[in-house]
Chain A
């Protein structure tokens, strides 16, 4: 027998202390009484006692000592070693998305955990347990721990994955355990139909559950019969039986379905469907199978409109907005709202709310919007925090030629990409002084900046055309359109190219030039920040549901959504898998087991003796 906490035996010091106290305290009480006659006579009537009764006088001390001894031993936690009675266990737990399939309100992962827990609980104390969770990547949850309770605690904390699980790496990890100890008992708990495997015991937790899935959902506006109208297509699958499935289409997050239909689906045969809608645009759509099955998460598919996600909202403040409106709709993915200068002067704060870009055409606001990119066209006067100062208007008698920058810097090349640099003449313009160093002058006249861009003091991107479009020949030429597109692309690049993914795939986010941070919120609410140091930031999607990507540029936030679906291979209730064999000859060595439930016994004994002592004391008190 050994002790887990030998320091607990220090409590035995209490034994000699008790004896010393007993010796010191144990004195005869002297008393004079009327007569000792009867007392002396009583000796003749005293029954001859058993030798053991000699201990009756110190029964209190004996009980106290026994209580102290058992308490000390219990604190020291005695452990009995049982040679060669325990084993090493290795559990390989399939954590793929299909383990989320439910049966009797419990997932396959729950059943798998129950199987493992049962093995752990039935095993001899002193056994060592290791568990590899084969989720997105193999993950050793616990390694050769001997504490059953701790193993069960860690097992209980395992959360399901939503990706496919490749077992190659897992097998390698398990093989390493087997190489280290060929006597290890290996269990592979999965829902796959695994071929007979060597040195591994397969525990299958699948139960032939019913499952339907909606796949390959896509949309288009180019249907020949209904040109411009939204058409949603996809496929339905029933994995276990023929079924009549009801599907509903929800648009733009509405709770009521916009369209619905029924479809007969043969087992394991893909059944296409199509919704032809009246809508010509949408923000998001969701196709849902309403029939109940064992795996709910593959019964719906959500698609976000990439164009919509990448679009930006523009406020155009102009009294002659036609030209700019046409320009924005032709060169950018913009949603334009136009207000007159008079209206804006009255409702400035309300008008700029939620806008990604504010364009002021021949108008200067009193207060510069702080949460949007800014374009000034022919600014009339200076505005605080804009980063430049309007000095005076310069008017030429004849148009003078403006000059494109000759800089070879990449940024200039980007902004002037595809610009033919045709001759530009200007008759009248505003002379501006650039107060911030980061402004880039693209076109100038007499060394005065005509077209320049940079960031204002709110760190929002700003573009200034320091002239009226009527006072130059730039507007009608192609270069103006190209330059505007470059500027808009530079300010609002396409952030996401795709809005539909499978769990386990990688989401790519284009990092915009002025992006400060990219915040990613997973369907379960986990928040992470992506790397913004490179042009493209990547992140692996490991959950099923809608991810929200928020790009922060100064005070401006642009929000994008992508949907991550369960991988198709994980939707199949019964998948056949290759053998999960461990190479080598299995050993028969065992490890020493332990019996550590002795502590309870000692605690009970201590309690019994302590209680006995108290009862004895109470009896003695009552007799007085």
Chain B
């Protein structure tokens, strides 16, 4: 990797990003997040009948005066969330001129920053083989962020990655925040189980597929013999013409729609990102449009 990805300049951009986000949108990930559960916040949520044993301090006496029946006043609960970011660290993310690895790290850093600003905890995992290796754990607050995020500069992308094998055994929490999977998803390995698993754990899910410009719109023509960067025994040998290019486009659309369908069916979000897209474009256009960022 040439130079540092998470450098001073990038951090300044993130600061700007936070300011812009705050000025222009209502909030980010809910801030001090109100959960669907009732709790002890100041924000009224609902009434319910009093049940013996309930805290009598929460009885709404005004309502009793009106209806001559005891009602308990309910308030929304507020909890600290834990954002878990999983980065596909296989060789395919780093091979060639695509800079998918840089884009993946930048997205992870940006998401982590925005979470930290909302006083959420952030953990970042690298998926290598069938293992989710936590390189930043429970990062909380900007000071912690500044101190830890630089580790992303030293991430090496190598080998292959099995997303499901890595996430399923790991501690993913339960209903306490957002899980982000950043990968090119160009693999036969199972990742559907990971999405299902996270969904079953009632976590918010965001799948970010990062593809290079060459993968989105290949320029290769004529007789080509492609070797797979992760496994050189895998190859593709064809005279690439218009028909094959047409089939490639269809295959790419198929892959995207397959991930997208899976995510939608599980209440998860899916975002396709080009390695050449700027972080600002990703956050302002794509994530806001998708409603991930509010």
Interface residues of A (CB under 8 A from B): 26-47, 49, 53, 56-57, 620, 623-624
Taking the nearest CB of chain B, how far is it from the CB of A33, in angstroms? Answer: 5
- CB of B220 within 8 A of CB of A31, answer yes
Asked if B120 lies at the interface with its beta carbon under 8 angstroms from chain A, I say no
- The complex places the Cα of A46 from the Cα of B245 at a distance, in Å, of 9
Given contacts A34-B98, A46-B244, whether A29 and B225 have CB atoms under 8 Å apart is: yes
- The complex places the Cα of A29 from the Cα of B95 at a distance, in Å, of 18
Number of interface residues of B (CB under 8 A): 45
Asked if B159 lies at the interface with its beta carbon under 8 angstroms from chain A, I say no
The 3 closest A-B pairs by CB, nearest first: A35-B186, A45-B247, A45-B250
- The complex places the Cα of A136 from the Cα of B95 at a distance, in Å, of 97
Given contacts A28-B224, A42-B250, whether A34 and B234 have CB atoms under 8 Å apart is: no
Find chain B residues with CB under 8 A from A34 CB: 91-93, 95-96, 98, 100, 184, 186, 212, 215, 229
8 CB-based A-B contacts, threshold 8 Å: A28-B225, A32-B229, A34-B229, A37-B228, A38-B251, A49-B243, A623-B242, A624-B221
Asked if B50 lies at the interface with its beta carbon under 8 angstroms from chain A, I say no
Contact of A33 among B187, B221, B226 (CB under 8 A): B226
- The complex places the Cα of A37 from the Cα of B221 at a distance, in Å, of 18
Taking the nearest CB of chain B, how far is it from the CB of A74, in angstroms? Answer: 32
- CB of A32 within 8 A of CB of B221, answer no
Taking the nearest CB of chain B, how far is it from the CB of A8, in angstroms? Answer: 34
Contact of A44 among B186, B235, B251 (CB under 8 A): B251
Given contacts A46-B243, A47-B243, whether A37 and B222 have CB atoms under 8 Å apart is: no
Find chain A residues with CB under 8 A from B246 CB: 45, 47
Given contacts A29-B222, A35-B92, whether A43 and B227 have CB atoms under 8 Å apart is: no
Given contacts A42-B244, A57-B241, A623-B242, whether A33 and B251 have CB atoms under 8 Å apart is: no
Given contacts A28-B237, A32-B226, A34-B96, whether A43 and B243 have CB atoms under 8 Å apart is: no
- CB of B223 within 8 A of CB of A33, answer no
Contact of B226 among A39, A43, A57 (CB under 8 A): A39
- CB of B229 within 8 A of CB of A35, answer yes
Residues of chain B from 197 to 226 with CB closer than 8 A to chain A in the complex: 212, 214-215, 219-226
- CB of A35 within 8 A of CB of B228, answer yes
Find chain A residues with CB under 8 A from B243 CB: 46-47, 49, 53
Contact of B247 among A28, A47, A623, A624 (CB under 8 A): A47
Given contacts A28-B223, A39-B236, A620-B221, whether A33 and B188 have CB atoms under 8 Å apart is: no
- The complex places the Cα of A49 from the Cα of B235 at a distance, in Å, of 23
Find chain B residues with CB under 8 A from A26 CB: 223
Taking the nearest CB of chain B, how far is it from the CB of A428, in angstroms? Answer: 122
- CB of A30 within 8 A of CB of B225, answer yes
- CB of B232 within 8 A of CB of A35, answer no
Residue of A34, A44, A624 most packed against chain B (CB within 10 A): A34
- The complex places the Cα of A548 from the Cα of B248 at a distance, in Å, of 94
Find chain B residues with CB under 8 A from A35 CB: 92, 184, 186-187, 215, 228-230
- CB of A36 within 8 A of CB of B226, answer yes
Find chain A residues with CB under 8 A from B251 CB: 38-39, 41-42, 44-45
Find chain A residues with CB under 8 A from B239 CB: 57
Contact of A41 among B100, B234, B238, B254 (CB under 8 A): B254
Find chain B residues with CB under 8 A from A36 CB: 226-228, 234-236
- CB of B241 within 8 A of CB of A56, answer yes
Find chain A residues with CB under 8 A from B236 CB: 36, 39-40
Residues of chain B from 170 to 207 with CB closer than 8 A to chain A in the complex: 184, 186-188
- The complex places the Cα of A26 from the Cα of B91 at a distance, in Å, of 31
- The complex places the Cα of A39 from the Cα of B92 at a distance, in Å, of 14
Asked if B252 lies at the interface with its beta carbon under 8 angstroms from chain A, I say yes
Asked if B290 lies at the interface with its beta carbon under 8 angstroms from chain A, I say no
- CB of B230 within 8 A of CB of A31, answer no
Given contacts A33-B226, A47-B243, whether A38 and B187 have CB atoms under 8 Å apart is: no
Find chain B residues with CB under 8 A from A38 CB: 186, 215, 248, 251-252, 255
- CB of B223 within 8 A of CB of A31, answer no
Taking the nearest CB of chain B, how far is it from the CB of A613, in angstroms? Answer: 16
Given contacts A34-B212, A45-B247, A45-B251, whether A29 and B184 have CB atoms under 8 Å apart is: no
- The complex places the Cα of A53 from the Cα of B246 at a distance, in Å, of 15
Taking the nearest CB of chain B, how far is it from the CB of A564, in angstroms? Answer: 82
- The complex places the Cα of A42 from the Cα of B215 at a distance, in Å, of 13
Find chain A residues with CB under 8 A from B95 CB: 32-34
For A47, the closest partner residue in chain B by CB is B243
Contact of A37 among B96, B187, B219, B223 (CB under 8 A): B187
- The complex places the Cα of A520 from the Cα of B133 at a distance, in Å, of 119
Taking the nearest CB of chain A, how far is it from the CB of B219, in angstroms? Answer: 6
Contact of A623 among B214, B221, B238 (CB under 8 A): B221
For A31, the closest partner residue in chain B by CB is B226
- The complex places the Cα of A42 from the Cα of B250 at a distance, in Å, of 7
Residue of A26, A27, A37, A49 most packed against chain B (CB within 10 A): A37
- CB of B227 within 8 A of CB of A31, answer yes
- The complex places the Cα of A620 from the Cα of B187 at a distance, in Å, of 31
- The complex places the Cα of A609 from the Cα of B186 at a distance, in Å, of 43
Taking the nearest CB of chain B, how far is it from the CB of A22, in angstroms? Answer: 12
- The complex places the Cα of A36 from the Cα of B215 at a distance, in Å, of 10
For B228, the closest partner residue in chain A by CB is A36
Taking the nearest CB of chain A, how far is it from the CB of B253, in angstroms? Answer: 9
- The complex places the Cα of A35 from the Cα of B93 at a distance, in Å, of 9
Taking the nearest CB of chain A, how far is it from the CB of B92, in angstroms? Answer: 4
Give 20 new A-B contacts, CB below 8 A, not counting A33-B214, A35-B184, A37-B228. A28-B225, A28-B237, A29-B223, A31-B226, A33-B96, A34-B96, A35-B186, A35-B215, A35-B229, A36-B227, A38-B215, A40-B234, A43-B247, A45-B254, A47-B243, A47-B246, A56-B241, A620-B222, A623-B221, A623-B242
- CB of A41 within 8 A of CB of B225, answer no
- The complex places the Cα of A31 from the Cα of B227 at a distance, in Å, of 6
- The complex places the Cα of A31 from the Cα of B252 at a distance, in Å, of 20
Contact of B224 among A29, A41, A44, A53 (CB under 8 A): A29
Find chain A residues with CB under 8 A from B227 CB: 30-33, 36
Chain B 141-175, CB within 8 Å of chain A: the 1/0 string? 00000000000000000000000000000000000
Find chain A residues with CB under 8 A from B223 CB: 26-29
Find chain B residues with CB under 8 A from A40 CB: 234, 236
Contact of B188 among A30, A37, A57 (CB under 8 A): A37
For B216, the closest partner residue in chain A by CB is A38
Taking the nearest CB of chain A, how far is it from the CB of B278, in angstroms? Answer: 21
- The complex places the Cα of A620 from the Cα of B222 at a distance, in Å, of 9
- The complex places the Cα of A53 from the Cα of B239 at a distance, in Å, of 13
